[in-house]
Amino acid sequence: MTLEEVLRRLDIGEDQDIEFKLADGGLPKALWESFSAFANTEGGTIVLGVAEKGGEHEFVGLRSANRLVKTFWDAHNNPQKLSSPVCTDSDVTVHRWEGKDLLFIRVPRATRTQRPVFINGNPLTGTFKRNFEGDYRCTESEVRQMLRDASDELQDAGIVEGFRLEDLDSESLKAFRNRFGSREPDHPFLALDDKELLRQLGGWRLDRSTGREGLTLAGLLMFGTERGLLDALPRYQVDYQEQLSDDPERRWTYRLTVDGKWAPNLFNFYYRVYPRLVDGLAVPFKLDDRATRVDETHVHEALREALVNTLIHADHQSSRPISVIKRRDTFMFLNPGRLRIPREALYQGGISDPRNPSLQKMFQMLGLGEKAGSGFQKILRAWREQHWLIPLVSENAALEMTQVWLPLASMIPDDVERELRAVVGDAYGSLDELGRVILMLAHRFGEIGNADIQPYRGEHPREIGGRLKRFVDAGWLEKGGHGRGTRYRWPMLGSSDLFSATTGDSGSSQHSELRSQHKGGNSQHKDLPPQHTETLISLAEGVRIRKRAKPEEVRRVILALCAVRPLSLGELGELLARAPASLQNHYLTPMLKEGVLQLMYPGHPNHPQQRYRVAGTTEASE
């Protein structure tokens, strides 16, 4: 029986992370690093009794499976070995295949209160995560971010030592009073002085156990000056971009960021960004029961909820920025910090676990934001009313980020259907609804995973996974990553062929193999001089031949490659022998945000001729 047949029989899909270990001399020490990595990321399965030889897996079995099970449970339940016992009895099972015992250990994803799951009693040295290259030890900042989320202490309620009322922007606080007063003119809070008003809002606090009092993180975030914010949070960053130009030279048509020209607190950021988000929104107005025009529709309300949620659910002590992006066909909201409730619960509604409840209260006093877990339901309602694609919420476990996509497109517009037919050909007519939805989502979002499809469909994840595999085999989708990190991309139509221009033998069999994989392809760069292609191959070789290159080396090589000429995601993946989705998540997207790389078509991220180039350069001369 093949490994695939075993996994199919045990209902472990190919999109689940699996780690195989030999366990010939007992429980391998590396098992616990993988256990911690699985628990802190998306969960997975460890299979003992399997040897890997030449990229192939071979069942060798276990000498004493029952003894290994006992050894596992002894360590699993020992707090000196494992910080949080996340497995139950049903997660550890022995299966016999062809006369050989295999031990399967299913590691669930840890809850926020269990993370970080660490080993050997030290969270700073014993906490691991999993990315596209395997297990890695978490940095101190990653560990502290998980510890903040695990704590029941309110993240925005802490007193910021050494900060005073003078660190607040008086105009922001005054504007808050005016807006609050116009909504609740008789509210008793309005009679209070600034300090007492802040105290009632959670922006100023007395620590009764120590007698200390002062400005809280919530108060500083909501009303702080730029200097005050950066002194308390050196990596504080809020960033709003409008990417509305067809000109590839323009990364954005408008940008609001921390630049010394305004007080970049959350109050000001919201009231500067929201009017621009809804400006030009092509949504028909409605009439109320008195036949009076209602200018604010459910879509306006949804965008307000999305923006407020991004600000109040962010981990503001992270080094990652808050980003809001407006494009012609979508809105994107990105905040540091993962979801504090399961994604399924977010789509169902009714559950709320705010990271920053004082910030939430401040916005609610202005009539902004929901408290009972209904905010995302309003977003879903608005998008369904417009027959637009359902909003997509995704997490990046490695970066500890959450992203919300709000696409402004019907399920399958005519132009998208034409592109689908161009890829699928005559078989398009035979596709069922699930197949068309999968392809449409891949086209709209650029890349998707099994979990991204589930909110749109009722089919079992295994059926969705099987359909994705068929589409990859048919060439309709491109696959990258592995395990839960598996992503499926819309094929890069018209992408250039890196190697068709090169003739002759460089003396490297690996180079020849790469070229042989790309013979006969059409390319907009087919007239490139051969030395350009040779240069690309040579520059990439150091990373390509090593499975686990250092991140800083990968970044350096990406910059060197894109300096030769602009390259597509697929080209970079082939040159570096890395999954395109992983390259995009871990390198290209961060490098775009840092401004060291640029897109050829920034206003159209899914443009069929999209390329990455070094910032400040133009297309290489040919």
Tens digit of each residue's pLDDT (9 = 90 or more) over 496-527 = 333 333 333 333 444 444 444 443 333 334 34
Closest CA to 109 of 42, 37, 15: 42
CB atoms within 10 A of CB 303: 23
Task: Give the E-state strand segments of 216-296 in sequence order.
Answer: 238-243, 254-256, 286-287, 293-294
The answer to whether the pTM exceeds 0.75 is no
Mean pLDDT of the chain: 83
Which range has the top average pLDDT, 69-83, 345-359, 459-473?
69-83
**CATH architecture of residue range(s) 414-489:** Orthogonal Bundle (1.10)
The pLDDT of residue 6 is 58
- The first and second tokens of residue 180, run together, are 């609050």
Domain 165-407 listed as CATH 3.30.565.60: yes
* Per-residue pLDDT at 143 exceeds 80: yes
pLDDT tens digits, residue range 582-606? Answer: 788 888 988 998 888 988 888 777 6
State the pairing for strand pair 92-97/100-107: antiparallel
The pLDDT of residue 547 is 62
Dihedral (CA of 9, 14, 16, 18) sign: positive
* Residue ranges of the chain that CATH labels 3.30.950.30: 3-150
Closest CA to 133 of 550, 611, 613: 550
Please give the residue that has the higher pLDDT: either 126 or 560: 126
Specify the fold of 3-150. 3.30.950
Spacing of C-alpha 105 from chain mean position: 27
The hierarchical CATH code for the domain 509-614 is: 1.10.10
* Residue ranges of the chain that CATH labels 1.10.10.10: 414-489
**Cα dist from 507 to 498, 514, 519, 532, 544, whole Å:** 18, 13, 18, 17, 17
Percent of the chain with pLDDT over 90: 41
Q: Is 93 helix (H, G, I), strand (E, B) or coil?
A: strand
* Residue ranges of the chain that CATH labels 3.30.565.60: 165-407
Reported as a pLDDT band with limits 50, 70 and 90, residue 529 is very low
pLDDT tens digits, residue range 412-439? Answer: 667 777 777 777 887 877 788 788 888 8
Mean pLDDT, to the nearest integer, of 604-615?
A: 79
